[in-house]
Amino acid sequence: MQYDIKTLSQQEIDDFLASEKLGYLSLTDGEKPYVVPLAYFYEAGCIHITIGAEGRKMACINKNRNACFAVCRVPEDFGIQKRNYTSVICEGVLEHVTAADELKTVVRAGEKRLGMPEGAWDKMLERVLENPESSSFWKIKVTEFGGKRV
C-alpha cells in the first residue's frame, strides 16, 4: 500500500498547533528520556504549558531545558484501510514565565483558548503575581518545526 506523505507548510503547522489541545512533552535528565502528555495552547511560535514545581518533569528541566513537543491527530476510523494522520514535532528550549506582563498575557490567552470568560483565572493570577517565581507557566520557544500529513 502506497502512502501519500505531505510535508506541512509553516502556516499549516501553525493552524494545526492552534487547533489541538493535547501534546507530548519529551525531556531528558541527561540519561533517561521522559515523555508526558500535557494540555497546551500555541501562540506566536510558542507552546504554552503548566508544570508543577516538583516531580520528574522539574527534575529533568533543572538538568536540561531542551525539549521536544509532539502533537498528533489520528481519526477515529484509523485502521488498516485508512492510515491517515497529521503530526507536528517542535523542538526548542523551555522558559519559565515569570514577568508580570507576560503572565497576564498568557493567562488571558489560556482562558480564551479553553473557552473561559476573561477573568476566570484572576484569583490564580493575583496569587502568582505576588510571587512570580512560583508561576507554573512555561513556554517552549520553538526553534525547529516539522510536520507531516499522511
Does some domain include residue 96? Answer: yes
Does some domain include residue 32? Answer: yes
d(CA 61, CA 27): 7
d(CA 91, CA 114): 24
Does some domain include residue 113? Answer: no
CB 46 within 8 A of CB 145: no
Does some domain include residue 119? Answer: no
Does some domain include residue 111? Answer: no
- In which region does residue 30 sit, left (phi positive, over 0), alpha (psi from -120 to 50) or beta (all else)? left
> What's the Cα-to-Cα distance from 6 to each of 14, 37, 78, 106, 147, rounded to whole Å?
16, 25, 18, 32, 8
Does some domain include residue 124? Answer: no
Residue 46, domain CATH: 2.30.110.10
**Overall domain count for the chain:** 1
pTM: 0.87
Does some domain include residue 141? Answer: yes
Give me the tens of pLDDT residue by residue for the chain, a chain 150 residues long.
Answer: 567 889 999 999 999 999 999 999 999 998 999 999 999 999 889 999 999 888 999 999 999 999 999 999 887 776 666 678 899 999 999 999 999 999 999 999 988 888 899 999 999 999 999 999 999 999 999 999 999 988
Does some domain include residue 90? Answer: yes
79: domain range?
Answer: 6-101+135-149
